[in-house]
A and B are shown apart, each in its own frame.
Chain A
Amino acid sequence: MAETIIFQSKPARPAPNRTEGLLPWIKLNLFGTWQSALSTVIIGALLVLYVPQFLNWAIFTSTTSTNADACRAAGVGACWGAVVEKYRLIIFGRYPFDEQWRPLVATLIMLTMLVVSCIRYFWSKWLVLGWTVTLAAYFILMYGSLFGYLDVFGLSKVTTDRWGGLPLTIMLSTLSIMLAFPLAVVVALGRRSHLPAIRSLCTVYVELIRGVPLISVLFMASFMFPLFMPQGVTIDTLLRVLVGITLFAAAYMAEVVRGGLQSLPKGQTEAAASIGLSYWQTQRKIILPQALATVIPGIMNNFISIFKDTSLVTIVSLYELTGSHGLAFNSDADWRPFKLEGYLFIVAIYFVFCFAMSRYSLWIEAQVNKSKLR
């Protein structure tokens, strides 16, 4: 007769040591190995040395006095008064002082529309209409009319060479991103086309643009291009620069998008073909949604670059944020010594925008990856 086996449950044991919490985290991450302990000590020492010094300069001994002489007094640290004195010039550039409510309103409208476009709830065809209205409003407010039409608001005319500062930075980045992205997608698809002519055209475009720095593209757009135009025909510098940035950014973005296209298995295209989808239906419904989802970080990288690269338009005399900082300080002997404070001010502005973009990128990645749950 077989013996009966009696089941005995194992006694409960305490859980292993916690690895969460501050102390375990410090132990694991900052002093895990002797190398990391060493670098923790070195970096810690540098922080102890310099952070107080910086805080002392930036906060404790700083002044907000708008008197340049008070700033020059011995023992005074940062002179934030320089920013107080110059912020209108830094933010709005050479736009006529009394009319600066116009770029303010125009930019607020554009920023609102940007935020709205980022929210899933609003993703619909209405966005196209929203953007058309926004851009029209922007140009009417900034220029006084829309290409000379719609001159009914009684606004004085402000030509584009007077535009500047943050409104210009935001408008240039927004428009070049909105134009460069679709162009990049088309070029990326073109580089994989079955038609040799289209393929070579796209390849040549990408390689040409990648072979030159943005500065020279801008120079070409603003100084050389007019030489080839017939007498009497002029195209606004701002427009030419916008086209230059767009073409430049699109070439880089196209390569990122192509990377995404490359990462999809061939079976996806074949399956789409086998159920009768046309080329464009396949790209729109099957290939692009997947390809773009995989390259969101890279594309957001491009967007952030574009935002910062707009600062180069200064060299063709468009005074966007960085340029108007120069306007504010370079020709003013009283305040020139306090340029650094001005720089920190625009650094803060750039950072806020770039950081917002990178956080948004993380969010949208999470949204898109919801369908990849296993």
Chain B
Amino acid sequence: MSTGTDNIIVFDKVNKWYGNSFHVLRDIDLQVRRGERIVICGPSGSGKSTLIRCINRLEEHQEGRLIVDGTELTDDVKAIDRIRKDVGMVFQQFNLFPHLTVLENLTLSPMYVGKIPKKEAEERAMTQLKRVRIAEQAEKYPLQLSGGQQQRVAIARALCLTPKIMLFDEPTSALDPEMIKEVLDVMVELANQGITMICVTHEMGFAKAVADRVIFMDQGQIVEQNTPHEFFNNPKTDRSKDFLSKILGH
């Protein structure tokens, strides 16, 4: 289990295909340090979601090695379970469980996966809800909340397992503009608390504020990676220049 290095995630020549023909990830090499905050960006369909979904095995890769917190991801179900306890994920569409209250959404995993008593799970859930500033909504059902509130609940749900790594897949893309900030504020706070964070987003303000590194993907490859300052002010490739000019609206 020991890592030997302080890299919490290591992609080593990872390749993935959808079906037989579509080569979605091509020779991905990536090391993520413990506590590092990474933003991934790139055009639609470039494989960003697929890349981060490999980390908690929502997608499986076919070639290469992927090591998360010292455990290699294979078909070994036990290893997958262990890794999922350490990796929280936040989805674009929130994916809260609509038939459960906010509190039940949060206590489910601690109770059934973490095997901790209900009362303790509820205390832990309330702590996380306070952290995302939504404690007063605990008894409501998800569909009674606004999009921004739902996404903050989703973040709290992921945090309830006290993960070492948080994955965000375009967490603000499905939100109305006036709600984006409340979610980003929560994410910034989280980023400042030392958790390892990988975030697919096109919120460049967020990237500049918290990211240690920006990774730019295109056509299943990592095309460029750099500090936010360098990447935004001095992109090296024509692809990234083109992409930046589009999203920054120049």
Q: Which A residues form the contact surface with B (CB < 8 A)?
A: 265, 267-268, 270-278, 281, 285-286, 289-290, 293, 371-374
Contact = CB atoms under 8 A, between A and B. Distances in A.
B81 A373 contact: no
Given A275-B84, A278-B81, A268 B95 contact: yes
A285 B113 CA distance: 12
B15 interface: no
B109 A275 contact: yes
A290 B142 CA distance: 14
Which of A274, A278, A281, A373 neighbours the largest number of chain B CB atoms within 10 Å of its CB? A274
A270 B91 CA distance: 9
A277 B108 contact: yes
Given A275-B84, A285-B112, A270 B141 contact: no
Contacts of B7: none
B142 to A, nearest CB: 9
B113 A270 contact: no
A276 B99 contact: no
A277 B113 contact: yes
B58 interface: yes
A371 B98 CA distance: 7
B61 interface: no
B58 A273 contact: yes
A196 to B, nearest CB: 16
Given A372-B141, A373-B141, A286 B97 contact: yes
B197 interface: no
B95 A271 contact: yes
How many residues of B sit at the interface, in one of the four size bands?
A: 20 to 34
A273 B81 CA distance: 9
A274 B56 contact: yes
Closest CB pairs A-B (n = 5): A271-B95, A275-B109, A267-B95, A274-B89, A276-B113
Contacts of A289: 99
Contacts of B84: 273-276
Nearest to B53: A270
A310 to B, nearest CB: 33
A277 B112 contact: yes
B143 interface: yes
Nearest to A370: B141
Interface string B150-183: 0000000110110000000000000000000000
Contacts of A373: 141, 143-144
Nearest to B97: A286
B52 to A, nearest CB: 11
B42 interface: no
Interface in B73-114: 81, 84-85, 87-89, 91, 93, 95-101, 108-109, 112-113
Contacts of A286: 97
B79 to A, nearest CB: 12
A277 B80 CA distance: 11
Contacts of B87: 274
A274 B158 contact: yes
B169 to A, nearest CB: 10
Contacts of A274: 56, 58, 84, 87-89, 91, 158
Contact of B81 (A265, A272, A276): A276
A interface secondary structure, majority = helix
Nearest to A267: B95
Contacts of A275: 84, 88, 108-109, 113, 157-158, 160-161
Contacts of B93: 265, 267
A92 B143 CA distance: 52
Interface string B8-25: 000000000000000000
8 contacts: A267-B91, A270-B58, A274-B84, A274-B88, A275-B157, A276-B161, A285-B112, A286-B97
Contacts of A374: 143-144
A283 to B, nearest CB: 12
A89 to B, nearest CB: 49
Contacts of A265: 93, 95
Contacts of B95: 265, 267-268, 270-271
B62 to A, nearest CB: 16
Given A271-B96, A290-B98, A372-B98, A276 B89 contact: no
Contacts of B81: 276, 278
Which of B56, B112, B160, B161 neighbours the largest number of chain A CB atoms within 10 Å of its CB? B112
B98 to A, nearest CB: 7
A285 B96 contact: no
A272 B105 CA distance: 10
A267 B98 CA distance: 12
Given A267-B91, A281-B112, A290 B99 contact: yes
Nearest to A374: B143
Which of B91, B97, B160 neighbours the largest number of chain A CB atoms within 10 Å of its CB? B97
Nearest to A275: B109
Nearest to B58: A270
A289 B99 CA distance: 8
Given A285-B112, A372-B99, 6 more contacts: A268-B95, A270-B91, A274-B56, A274-B89, A274-B91, A371-B99
Contacts of B56: 273-274
Contacts of A285: 108, 112
A293 B99 contact: yes
Interface in B23-67: 56, 58
Contacts of A278: 81
A267 B97 CA distance: 10
Which of A276, A281, A286 neighbours the largest number of chain B CB atoms within 10 Å of its CB? A276
B242 to A, nearest CB: 31
A274 B168 CA distance: 12
